[in-house]
Structure 1
Amino acid sequence: MTPQQIEYVLLVAQLRSFSKAAQKLYITQPSLSKYIINIERQLGTEIFDRSTTPISLTAAGEAYVATARQIKAAQDDLANRIADMQNLRAGTLKIGASTFRTSYMLARSISQFCREHAGVEVSIADNNSENLKEMLRAGQIDLLISTGSFDPKYFDVEPLATEQLYAAVPAAAPVNGKLADWQLSWEDIRSRSERFLRAKPVDLSRLRDVPFILPQQEEFNEEVMQRSFIAFGGLPEPALRVRTIDAAFSFVVSGFGMTLIPDTMIHFGNYAAHPVFYALEPAHAQRQICLVMRRSSYVSKAAAAYCLTLKRLVEIGTWRIL
């Protein structure tokens, strides 16, 4: 496999479209299709099943792509080792994170790293947690910032910070009148006010009359929400399912429904309006944000330098957007 063959096949496999891949490669779709057909002729079998929409990999295609990813990871590893000999004057750094983490938490550390190491090319892969784990295992990214569980057989995990979920309820919801003693404002949470320090966890069963909004992707999905409701008979039937936590929050602010919101969003989201918040039982609503790397992999100087930058900002509390 040549580097160009690997690049073209992997991009088509990722996007599942010849036309979309051609646009990213700045070539015409007929040229890309012809190129892939030539590879398939050399192999004596088809890589892509063109009878499906979107296109999919054949069994041979799955094997080809798996091997291509291994070769690409080895090529990147070699490039990083050579770049390290130039003492961070060149090289690459590939960081994996959900869209939420990228938007709310990583901009400051990445910006500082780029200023300090202008010769290193930084790229961010934003995807859901499971896909990012597979990308890390395959060597497609150098490190991952995420929550959740990680198999120690494949990953080295270092906790960075603790994240707390809060119940977010529209300010005009009638239930707030019955729970005045439990209410917190976003100012209470940001400033860690006396009210915040005295706040007791709310009984989530008391909020069941408020329609529940369920995010379905990224790190705040049904499994995560289910844990917070476990002591109250399980997750309520969602009145609305949305794709992201940002979308769920927008509906709450507009006056419809409740959801669970991470304190990261409360501290560092740039919102003009906020709902009423309620503290939850920490045992069910706290999670560790972790720095994850592939076990026994080569750690480039760029990756090591970024980790030091990130951890330094975590220690002084300025790693997130203020």
Structure 2
Amino acid sequence: MNQLTQFYNLSHIFISFIGAMLLFAIYYNIQKRFKTVLEEGVVFKRVDKGLLYLAFGMLVWVLSGIIAYTVNHFQVEKTLWYQVTINLVSTLNNLFWLLALYYVNEAPKFIYRNEKNVRLISGVIILTAVLTIAATFLVGDKTINGIKLIAIPDVVLTTFLCLLMGVSFFKTFMQRGLKLVAFIAVSAIFLLFISQLSDLFIYLGTDFINQLIRIVAKTSLVSVFLVLATSWVIQLANTPKPNEMKIHFLDWSLLKLTIPSKGIYNEKIDFGSKTTQYKNLLLFAIRRKFKDALEQSIIVNSGGEIKSQTYLTRIIDNINSILELEDENKLERKDLITFIGESKYRLRILPEHINIDEALLAEFKRDF
């Protein structure tokens, strides 16, 4: 084994291992400190395991590094079993990345909290891996015009997941005000994609360039994951606790809101002509206060009671605009409305902290 390959494999192992351990440590700390925020309510348990799956994905990198180091040390990298092992490890890594995206709020909607589609894509990944392994025994290391045939399926899948990760992380960091990190994340994922091409095109680049791209991509991605974890801690720390929030619906378009952690104390909010947003918020409050736990949510999609998530965002935007809150105290949608799953959303304020004027309630029930 030459020194360049030895350096890359050892660097790959230790960088991935340290990154995975740090993510596990942060995840454990988050679960310990923010348990009540992560597991709201008695019925709906929404434990976010995205960070955990990112850590497992990095442990797979550690495993692949150990395998590569061992294989190169004994100079058996041309054997068939090594090709099969690499395909299996790559498949496992892709699965962990996909499972992590399931928990990312800004992931494409066909993945975010969509168990059916995630199972379908996972099945496609596993099936592709099985077919690739079968092709390994039939095709081996055969190449056509410098293209390694058995690498095609894995590169296609990795490209698909890199695209999903790029979109998800870019939107996540932009939404959290970390614009520079958003561009760094996209760059790291792009480099990760580029690093896969040398497995497909055997004459692409030199060993030095290919190894350099790989180590830079993976080091950058580890850093991005750590920033993501840190921003999640900050986000959870700034999320109001359900038992501190109070809302009182006084009249049509008028309510009183209290959220101490956001500097809001008995503030009167007049929605004025924006009655659609007010009615939607009142509907959430009525469901939360008077329905059983399983019936407190509202379906938000084209066929649901509320047709679009845009209406939810407008509720929060109107409150921020009317109260003229400073940037650090501005409400986010997740502060008042929590996602349950399967297009269902529920008000976070506890039922006992929701008050509705009796005349307003009677009029709403009659007109709705």
TM-score range normalised by the length of the shorter chain: under 0.3
Taking structure 2 as the reference length, what is the TM-score of the superposition? 0.24
Greater helix share, 1 or 2?
Answer: 2
Greater strand share, 1 or 2?
Answer: 1
Which structure has more relative contact order (CA 8 Å, sep 6+)? It is 1
